[in-house]
Amino acid sequence: MIRNDLRNIAIIAHVDHGKTTLVDQMLKQAGAFRENQVVEERVMDSGDIERERGITILAKNTSVHYKGVKINIVDTPGHADFSGEVERILKMVDGVVLLVDAAEGPMPQTRFVLQKALEFGHKIIIAVNKIDRPDARLNEIGDEVLELLLNLDATDEQLDSPIVYCSGRAGTASMSPNAEGTDLTPLFEQILEHIPAPQVDTDGPTQMLVSSIDYNDYVGRIGIGRIERGSMKVGQQVTVCDYHGTTQPYNAKVVTLYTIEELERKPVDEATAGEIVCFSGIENVTIGETLCNPNTVEPLPFVKISEPTVEMTFSVNDSPFAGREGKFVTSRHLRERLFRELLKDVSLRVNETDTTDSFRVCGRGEMHLSILIENLRREGYEFQVGAPKALFREIDGKTCEPVERMIADVPQDAVGAIMEKMGNRKGELVSMNPKGADRMRLEFLIPARGLFGYRTEFLTDTKGEGVLSSVFHSYQPYKGDISKRTTGSLIAFETGEAVGYGLFNAQERGPLFIGPGTQVYEGMVIGENPRGDDMAVNVCKKKQLTNMRASGSDDALRLIPPRQMSIEAALEFISDDELLEITPKSVRVRKKILSNTERLKKVKGGKK
């Protein structure tokens, strides 16, 4: 049976190409909101961190109705570190809308998500977005996307994909680059015409693949997926099984069933094949499992998610300030929370280590892990993490490392500095093209570890005007040693409170991370030393008051404002002998060995 009343699509693109803004307009124009309803921008970005940073982190489902057809839409993240979200939801849909920025064109993540969609054989609608940008290149973008499709071995049918020219912010679409539309009707028409309606067996035994997991305090775990065959009813008995046989099949009951109507979940008694639904009542259900009729147990294959490329060690906080600010501080709390995260994040890996208070956490990149760290600290967890490391692999007897495809869009006068830094970090130039009158687009293949700590330098070299993005390319033989950060650390000499006089003397050594009144402990990193060596400074030193007076002794002390370290900046900064202490209120960099004398002994012992 062909369900002509239904279409299932995903919107995929590179970061910041306007997916969530376009979904806003699709919802508005399809009548999802009242005329006088106050609607926030990027209504699909429901998480606090998503709103603060302006990025999508989790794939989310919504739906609109157009000409009597229900269009289920999945909004996906554009950042390469969250590409596992895109991979797992592609099983739920029959086609994709590929969004491409009218000025930037196809970027690394565009290539990645498009490749995944092509592997599934999905139909594609190309939407050139932000056509109202002053630097839009409407006539060239179509050719660039076609070239990308050719590079990715698209079929003839996929090469004939329609191109729609949109402005997500204005809510317009047109089939011609020279004519601006009035609304999104051309996009809706292309979805109905070009994306196939689900071909399903509505009378067969129940079969549904779980592609996403949500959680609610009232009903517990909620599974989300598409019914592939048959129908599903409230109270129905099902068998939960796994294609790879990692878990033993078991029987369970569907307690509640919802379909997704616009921004809400609508309770229903029954749903048929082709529909995307949410269900609750099965406590241990996870992503990749199949719900089947107990008489016909046929698990569906789940897409193989790409492996992580970066690892970090999460451990219990053992600094002198441990337990002061956090609610959950023990290894049991940390272990429980990390393993709970695995249930909804398919591209994360957590492994036990030799000690009970440390865990190896592997993810897609620094951003992937830093968002996990941020979520944990907001929930009241206190812990510490080590410096990120690239995950090596043994392939054909050779040690191989992850290599990233990096694209840098920079002013022409910064090209020399970028080339020099890339050379030091074992980067290999792939292409170099002028973009506009005074900008260049450089493409490199660079080891993942070569990008650790580089973003700050990149912004400095391009005076804040550069745009940098990267995506995993492949595993290649080990490229050799890469010199680590060239600067050293300024380390607190003793425990106490930082005072203005001590900070004034310390700031001559290098930029500081703390201001007056900050509590410090011995071994805590309070600044950066440009000379390359670690140096202990006493920021708790007070001015001795005497009855002697000298010219200049009572001058006002001028303190340079401290550099505020975000979690990402701190992860880029720390070296192998340092840790990042995370609490709900503070982010502190510290040495693994806190005692200054012990550290000096170790350094001298190493030199011998």
Binding-site annotation: residue ranges for GTP? 16-21, 129-132
- CB under 8 Å to 324, separation ≥6 — which residues? 583
Other C-beta atoms lying within 10 Å of the C-beta of residue 132: 14
Q: How many CB atoms lie within 10 A of CB 366?
A: 21
Cβ–Cβ under 8 Å, residues 298 and 292: yes
Give me the DSSP letters along 460-490.
HHTTT--EEEEEEEEEEE--------S-EEE
SS3 content of the chain, % helix, strand, coil (to 5): 25, 35, 45
Smallest Cα–Cα separation from 101: which of 186, 18, 224, 187?
18
Angle, nearest 10°, between helix axes 108-119 and 138-151? Answer: 50
Q: Which two three-digit tokens encode residue 177?
A: 């680059």
3-state secondary structure string across 318-370? CCCCCCCCCCECCHHHHHHHHHHHCCCCCCCEEEECCCCCEEEEEECCHHHHH
- CA dihedral 471→473→475→479, nearest 10 degrees, is -80
- Phi/psi for 173 (5° steps) reads -150, 150
Both tokens assigned to 296: 């016909």
* Size (the chain), residues: 608
Residue linked to tokens 């910064």: 414
CB 520 within 8 Å of CB 590: no
* Closest among 385, 403, 427, 449 to 579, alpha carbons compared: 385
Within 90-169, where are the H helices?
Answer: 108-119, 138-151, 156-159
Q: Is 298 exposed, middle or buried (0-12, 13-18, 19+ CB in 10 A)?
A: middle
- Asked if residues 213 and 61 have their Cβ atoms less than 8 Å apart, the reply is no
Please report, in range form, the residues annotated as the binding site. Answer: 16-21, 129-132
